[in-house]
Structure 1
Amino acid sequence: MSRRRFTWFNGLALALGLAFLYVPLALVVAYSFNASRLVTVWGGFSTQWYGALLGNEPLKQAAWTSLRVAGLSSVFATVLGTLTAYALVRYGRFRARTLFTGMLYAPMVMPEVITGLSLLLLFVAMGLDRGFWTVTVAHTTLTLAFVAVVVQARLADLDRSLEEAAADLGAPPMRAFLTVTLPLIAPAVAAGFLLAFTLSFDDLVLASFTSGPGSTTLPMLIYSSVRLGVTPEINAASTLMIALVVLTLALAALSSRWRGARTRRVRRGPG
């Protein structure tokens, strides 16, 4: 079987694809160091706008709100998503499994506008004031499905004989899960948490429908500010968000590599 050579056409297609994805991001990063207040005119290199962020109280408050919402919703989504994945993989076929699976995956493919409107109507019908906790619940609803998919893929590939061996030695189901299953799927759980954190921190649509006074997130503030004109401070804040997402994805990649190495060691056994 012959190996395919890397041709100029493949290289050109790859370059155009990467340019389409990353040139706009590179421009945002570059102009965050622009000394001029006019974002379309380069006035020299400067980090003054990052210093200006320290004095921007609304932006700092919005960033803190986004971090708290992302942290809490990621924890909730990770716990619920892991338990959901475990039920789908370990309990085999059960009544209404197809319906349950379809309902789990629905938030991943449904437009966020529809999800946001549905949650808004739910909160209004329940008489709940929109604020921090309604945004957290909305983000948990969105990210739970992604966590479940990541963990489910890992559980499906896990050697079940390890859990059965723990049960044969007298470990109850909960202890077997905590001492055997959970450590083996920990990298997938961590990857799901990081993915949920990124999706929550970046969300604009759901937060717009479910937020209230005092619960403005950073994407909402940036969007409302851009409507009046892009400023260098917005570019600096966007650059910091890009850096946070890149760091999160790097941690997820390292977690995935650790998971693969751990799986190979377990399969080889001692020695």
Structure 2
Amino acid sequence: MRAAERTLVTGQSVMLVLLYVFLYFPIFYVTYLSFVDNSVWPFPPEFTLEWYERLGIMSDFHEGLLNSLTIGLGSGAIAALFATVAAIGMLKYRVHRRGLMIGLYLAPLFVAQVLIGVSTLMFNRNVLGLPGNMTSAILANATYCLSFAFLVLMAQLVRYDWRLDEVAMVFGAHPMRCFFEVTLPNIWPAVLGAFLVSFLLAFNNFEISFYNLGAVPTLPTIAWGTLRHGIEPELYAMASVVNALVFTGFVVLYVLIRTGAVRLGVPGR
């Protein structure tokens, strides 16, 4: 390798390291602050679990965590279900105006989350006569997450050999039996990946949940409310708990991709 090439590779490596430091140092710093007694960077630091103990006895945190998990699980399940049906319909059957239908499924990607939250609230109140509640928050988050789940399913199903379904139906399998015994066992990793992505997006969402729930707390709204009155040490602990949950979801998805359970991309590439 020539000197110029070595210099270029070294420069790229340094820039990559600096980029990772810029992205992840704040996360690790917040985690560090959640374990120290004084946040003014004393040396040597005095480590403590006091902030986690206080967080554990906060009733708002328990309620917010339960609500966030409910929204994440509900929205993830709905988004994964509808994305699976839509992706199979787009790729397996001759859908009229397929490009338009795919564009409609991807449309929420280009709409601000604030607009989704406000429009859902206004529709429920003015058209349906319903106040904002957990159901509307789950449905609104599912609408936003549907596009991401649809992309994950489409990327996986372009690899699927639909002749397997045809063979099963030739031998007398009912379409529903064909789906549950042939199609689903082959595509379940992609369905799980779509669910995980949707869960993480809905779990961490602030704008959509805030406009549909109002005073009902979720973890993002609790964090936002705490910031209005100054940063308390318990907020560091809560941020660390949320980061741990999110990173766990990403690790699961990463392991699925690395082991080949979930494959993204076009066949042959």
- The residue identity in structure 2 corresponding to 1:148 is F
Letter of the 1:119 counterpart = T
Q: Deviations over 1:40-65 (max 9, x none)?
A: 34452111111111111111111111
Q: CA deviation at 1:103?
A: 1.2
Q: Label 1:40 to 1:12 Cα distance change in 2 as closer, same or farther (>3 A).
A: same
* 1:185 matched to 2:187: yes
CA distance in 2, matches of 1:128, 1:115: 17
In structure 2, the partner of 1:132 is 134
Superposition deviation, residue 233 in structure 1: 0.5
Check conservation: 1:187, 1:258, Cα contact below 8 A.
no
User: Which residues of 2 match residues 73-152 of structure 1 at below 5 A?
Assistant: 73-92=75-94, 94-125=95-126, 126-152=128-154
CA distance in 1, matches of 2:219, 2:171: 51
Structure 1 unaligned blocks of 5 or more = 263-271
Please, which moves more after superposition, 158-167 or 252-261?
A: 252-261
Matches of 2:161 and 2:80, distance apart in 1: 22
Correspondence for 1:207 among 206, 209, 213: 209
After superposition, the CA RMSD in angstroms is: 2.0
Query: Residue type of the partner of 1:55?
Result: I
Partner of residue 269, structure 1: none
Secondary structure, counterpart of 2:82 in structure 1 = helix
- Aligned mates of 1:51, 1:17 — CA distance in 2: 34
Native 8 Å contact 1:187 1:259 kept in 2: no
Q: Determine the C-alpha separation between the residues in 2 that align with 1:167 and 1:198.
A: 37
- Paired AA for residue 118 in structure 2: L
Determine which of 7, 32, 35 is the counterpart of 2:34: 32
**Residue in 1 that maps onto 2:70:** 68
SS in 1 for 2:161: coil
For the Cα contact (< 8 Å) 1:74–1:140, is it kept in 2?
A: yes
| 107-116 vs 27-36, which moves further | 107-116
Q: Which amino acid aligns with 1:31?
A: L
Q: Distance in 2 between matches of 1:9 and 1:261?
A: 33
Identical amino acids, percent of aligned pairs: 30
2:175 aligned partner: 173
CA gap 1:51/1:184 in 2 versus in 1, 3 angstroms: same
User: How far off is 1:32 after superposition?
Assistant: 0.5
| Correspondence list, 1:3-42, <5 A | 7-36=9-38, 39-42=39-42
Aligned partners of 2:41, 2:58: CA distance in 1, in Å?
A: 23
Preserved contact between residue 189 and residue 262 of structure 2 (Cα < 8 Å): no
Q: Secondary structure at the match of 1:140?
A: helix
In structure 2, stretches of 5+ residues that fail to align are 264-269
Aligned to 2:227: 226
Residue aligned with 1:44, SS: coil
For the 8 Å contact 1:81–1:148, the answer to whether it is kept is: yes
- Note the alpha carbon deviations across 1:156-183, whole angstroms, 9 max, x for none: 1112222222122111222111111111
Distance 1:254 1:41, change over 3 A: closer
Rounded to whole Å, the distance in 2 between the matches of 1:116 and 1:228 is 25
Q: Which amino acid aligns with 1:56?
A: M
